[in-house]
Amino acid sequence: MPVRVIHTLAELRAALSGHPRTAFVPTMGNLHQGHLDLVRIAHEHGGPVVTSIFVNRLQFAPTEDFDRYPRTLSSDVEALERVRCDIVFAPDEHELYPEPQGFKLHPPAEIADILEGRSRPGFFTGVSTVVHKLFNIVQPAVAVFGKKDYQQLMIIRRMVAQMALPVEIVAAETTRAADGLALSSRNGYLSPTERAEAPRLARCLGQLAVSLRAAGRIHSAALSELETAAMRELEQHGWAPDYVAVRRRRDLLIPSAPDEALVVLAAARLGATRLIDNLEF
């Protein structure tokens, strides 16, 4: 059965009426295998499965790539048919924002103004606002997000808990290419030379995790030294890193105890393309 493509809120709500266990995968389109893996996971948790495709202007800064972000709806729909997505919700901007979005959801600064939020001011306000709005529209029982956007996942979980939204957030592992590069829509911007270099980001995170385990102790000086060394390696190979940071998984604060579950996160530009990645350990 072909996927049903819906462009309006009214039609979507009518299509979902009477389905209490809808599973939802929000995307900005230009889909890759990582997105399709999220849809497969969504099938395990509910049905029908709805995938949204909407390039959200609110999360782009004026200097970022909103206008050149690829719009590939036709090929996206074909890909979603192959993984048995039931509904594609692809509203235009006026449908989702019929008037200027004056009401916005501002996540707490302590989780939103660090790491990605420090590099991209306002980004998580845009993300939180559109996800909350999409949750109100789709009314899913389950929503699936990838761990590649680690800070985003944490903020969405906090938002759901604090706003008492009846949505179960399911976290999916990062889908990677055979050489370790985390799949991303922005990988398509890389030149062949850059694409060959790109897996270094994941390798740097792995090396940092190994070094930290070998050190056996966690203290601020050791963390800072390892983070600086990772950034220096990236710089020596033509990258412009925004950050490499070891943080606690539960709140993304700097760790202080040896037995805490940790994650190392990084963002860096390779040429004109900004890549992010993370590794739990």
Count of helix runs (H) and strand runs (E) in the chain: 11, 9
DSSP state of 18: T
Q: Are 22 and 139 in contact (CB under 8 A)?
A: yes
Distance (Å, rounded) from C-alpha 149 to C-alpha 205? 15
Q: Are 123 and 59 in contact (CB under 8 A)?
A: yes
Catalytic site includes residue 35? yes
- Bond into 48 cis (ω within 30): yes
Q: Which residues pair with 268 in a beta bridge?
A: 241, 275
Q: Of these residues, 35, 43, 45, 94, which one is catalytic? A: 35
Q: What is the DSSP string of 144-204?
A: EEETTSHHHHHHHHHHHHHTT---EEEEEPPPB-TTSPBP-GGGGG--HHHHHHTTHHHHH
Tokens of 172: 């999916």
Q: What is the DSSP string of 233-247?
A: HHHHTTEEEEEEEEE
Active site amino acids: 35
